[in-house]
Amino acid sequence: MIDLYLADTSIPVFLGKPSARQAAMIDCWEDVAATMLAGLTPGRPIAECVKEGIATFAKHGFSDFSLPLFGHGLGTCARTRPFLNLRSDDVVQPGMVVALGTHLYVPDAGGMRLEFPAMITERGAEPLVETPPKVHRVAA
């Protein structure tokens, strides 16, 4: 909390060498995070951005293991509009601050979650943290 404003931040860390399935999950998850971050540009309907995230999960073959929810707004309440889901009727606007979320959970393989604060500017979504939205790998 900074000046009564709340933020969510979480980035996955992978310990050791991923299996082929886990490496495919990491590639998918990072592609979805990048797609969502790039897609949040002023004037676009939120639902349109969400459809791109869902399509990216499908492209990688992980639709059955992903959530069709991609975050929420940030402010003086931890969860505020815009809600990044298919039912949203919000439009991306400069000044919005969001916690971009990307969720992928595969039984017997692992799971990854992102809570990544970004502010929407005239140029698009700008990260509010220095850590990139990628899986951080640590040798075991």
Per-residue pLDDT tens digits for 90-140: 999 999 999 999 999 999 999 999 989 999 999 999 999 888 999 999 987
Per-residue pLDDT tens digits for 75-85: 777 678 899 99
Please give the structure tokens belonging to residue 119: 């502010």
Does CATH place domain 13-138 in 3.90.230.10? yes
What sections of the chain are H helices per DSSP? 20-39, 46-59
Domain ranges (residues) in the chain: 13-138
Contact 2, 9 (CB under 8 A): no
pLDDT bucket at 4, cuts 50 / 70 / 90:
low
8 or 132, which is more confident: 132
